[in-house]
Amino acid sequence: MTSKTRIAQIGFGYWGPNILRAISSHGDAEIVAVSDNDQEQLAKAGRQFPTAALCTDIDDVIARNDVDAIIVALPAGLHFDVTKKALEAGKHCFVEKPLALTTSDCKTLLGLAARKNVVLMVGHTFEYHGAVRKIKALIDAGEVGEIYSIIAQRMNLRRIRQDVDAMWNLAPHDFSIALYWLNQAMPVSIRAQGFSHLPRPKPLADLTYLTMEFASGAVVHIISSWLSPEKIRKVMLVGSKKMVTYDDVDVESMVQIHDKGVDLSSVVTTDYGEYQTLVRSGDLVIPALRITEPLRIEMYDFVDCIRQGKTPVADGQSGLRVTRILEAASESMARNGAPIKFE
């Protein structure tokens, strides 16, 4: 492909401008059109991308012959309808997370993308994060050992959404990180609880707890909250050999590798018949990371996959897996934390 890949974006709210800035620096991408039904946002897009056509009607953008690929950065409830239309029109699609609100809708989108032979990608930004990838390399090299648990917290007091709860908004990132580290294994069971404190017309959980169990024995706990005095973006990985922390807020020592654990060969029985274990507390290593903006790597992957006929790291399947988990977690939440079994 010699000419540039012509991009249109639908949705230019809080996150949309970041996506468009990131993709616009790709030498083979050209921003052709932006759509938003808010005139003020559209005017902002016009100032940032003066040559782009500005449209309030989504259908006008999808119908354009000069658009190869569409970025969907709309509220989650609109992802399915808009992406379906865009895929039907033969456009490559990048959809912000979550891909859609139901497993069945995700499958429809995946089927359409396959039939139209176009790229379908989902905004799982953290699969492109240098820290997450560094930890994946440690796992793959056998340095962490057997994964016992992953404990993720994503909490802050910021934008409280009115369309989805804290889990649907925040946890997709942690699901995609955990699945990426666990080689895309799906859990065997999910339990979730949600708590709603803020007075709103429709109660939506502002604090959610989720537990996923895997056939390997790994357990993943995820806490998502909009009501926290501190911004916490932390994941702890406990393995049989090492323990690793990833703190996205701690720029200086984002990844810490702790040579800590229980020395399994030291499990002995005392004269009194009690078990005794020796806890190992060795060195702490803070690897030097060269972090390139994950969003830029993510958006470049979209353009490169379109141009080279490749499958993105965060492909439609990745979006489907995360929506399956969200759907099961919501079902568990509605049943007050009852476990939902996966086939």
Stretch that binds ligand NAD, among 9-17, 224-232, 263-271, 307-315 (CB under 6 A): 9-17
Other beta carbons less than 10 A from residue 26's beta carbon: 18
CB of 330 to ligand NAD, least distance (A): 16
38 binds ligand NAD, rule: CB under 6 A: yes
CA-based radius of gyration for the chain: 22
User: What residues between 168 and 207 interact with ligand NAD by CB under 6 A?
Assistant: none
Q: Which one of residues 5, 35, 211, 330 is an interface residue with ligand NAD (CB under 6 A)?
A: 35
Nearer to ligand NAD, 35 or 193 (CB): 35
Nearer to ligand NAD, 71 or 223 (CB): 71
163 closest CA partner among 115, 202, 128, 124:
202
12, 32, 200 from 7: Cα distances, Å: 14, 6, 37
Residue whose C-beta lies closest to ligand NAD = 13
User: What residues between 68 and 127 interact with ligand NAD by CB under 6 A?
Assistant: 73-76, 78, 96-97, 123, 125
Terminal CA-CA length for the chain: 42
Strands 53-55 and 69-72 come out as: unpaired
39 binds ligand NAD, rule: CB under 6 A: no
User: What residues between 283 and 312 interact with ligand NAD by CB under 6 A?
Assistant: none
User: What residues between 50 and 79 interact with ligand NAD by CB under 6 A?
Assistant: 58, 73-76, 78
CA gap 140, 49 in Å, rounded: 42
102 closest CA partner among 40, 164, 50:
164
13 binds ligand NAD, rule: CB under 6 A: yes
Q: Which residues of 231-264 are buried (b: 16+ CB within 10 A; e: fewer)?
A: ebbbbbbbbeebbbbbbbeeeeebbbbbeebeee
In the complex, the residues that contact ligand NAD under the rule CB under 6 A are 11-16, 35-38, 41, 58, 73-76, 78, 96-97, 123, 125
